[in-house]
């Protein structure tokens, strides 16, 4: 049981390049999330998928797109990377089996992205 896995762990891009961050969970969770973590700002939600087949914008969606490929996988795409997107990106999932809002989120190990 690997939990939440992310690839790659590290990535360096040049401004304007594109890339896709991959995330998969093996806990049969309904909901999945992408966050970015910047110093002094905590985690900010980029996009989320409340259930398979749905995606919605979070707090900071500009410059990103997502795909919920199936129940297990949720990818984040940067179409044209900018230096402001230098950050650590975390994928997370939750069961949503109890009352909404009471469930633990499980996090992957993160992807450290640098855009030059």
Partner 1 sequence: GNSVTQMEGPVTLSEEAFLTINCTYTATGYPSLFWYVQYPGEGLQLLLKATKADDKGSNKGFEATYRKETTSFHLEKGSVQVSDSAVYFCALSEGTSYDKVIFGPGTSLSVIP
Binding residues for partner 1, rule: CB under 8 A, are: 4, 31, 40-45, 48, 50-51, 90, 92, 94, 96, 99-110
What is the greatest pairwise CA distance in the chain? 43
Beta bridge partners of 94: 31, 105
Identity of the residue, 56 or 79, whose beta carbon is nearer to partner 1 in the bound complex? 56
Identity of the residue, 49 or 85, whose beta carbon is nearer to partner 1 in the bound complex? 49
Identity of the residue, 44 or 72, whose beta carbon is nearer to partner 1 in the bound complex? 44
37 contacts 88 by C-beta, under 8 angstroms: yes
Least distance (Å) between residue 97 CB and partner 1: 10
Least distance (Å) between residue 80 CB and partner 1: 27
- Angle 96-54-76 from CA coordinates, rounded to 5°: 95
24 contacts 72 by C-beta, under 8 angstroms: yes
Identity of the residue, 19 or 106, whose beta carbon is nearer to partner 1 in the bound complex? 106
Least distance (Å) between residue 99 CB and partner 1: 7
- In terms of C-beta density within 10 A (0-12 exposed, 13-18 middle, 19 or more buried), how is residue 50 classed? middle
Least distance (Å) between residue 13 CB and partner 1: 21
């Amino acid at each position: 049981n690997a939990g939440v896995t992310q690839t790659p762990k590290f990535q360096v891009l040049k401004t304007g390049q594109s890339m896709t961050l991959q995330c998969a969970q093996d806990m049969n969770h309904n909901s999945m999330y992408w966050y970015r973590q910047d110093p002094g700002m905590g985690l900010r939600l980029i996009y989320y998928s409340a259930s398979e087949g749905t995606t919605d914008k979070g707090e900071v969606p500009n410059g990103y797109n997502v795909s919920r490929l199936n129940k297990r996988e949720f990818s984040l795409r940067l179409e044209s990377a900018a230096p402001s997107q230098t950050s650590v990106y975390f994928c997370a999932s939750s069961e949503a089996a109890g009352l909404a809002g009471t469930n633990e989120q499980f996090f992957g190990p993160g992807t450290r992205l640098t855009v030059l």
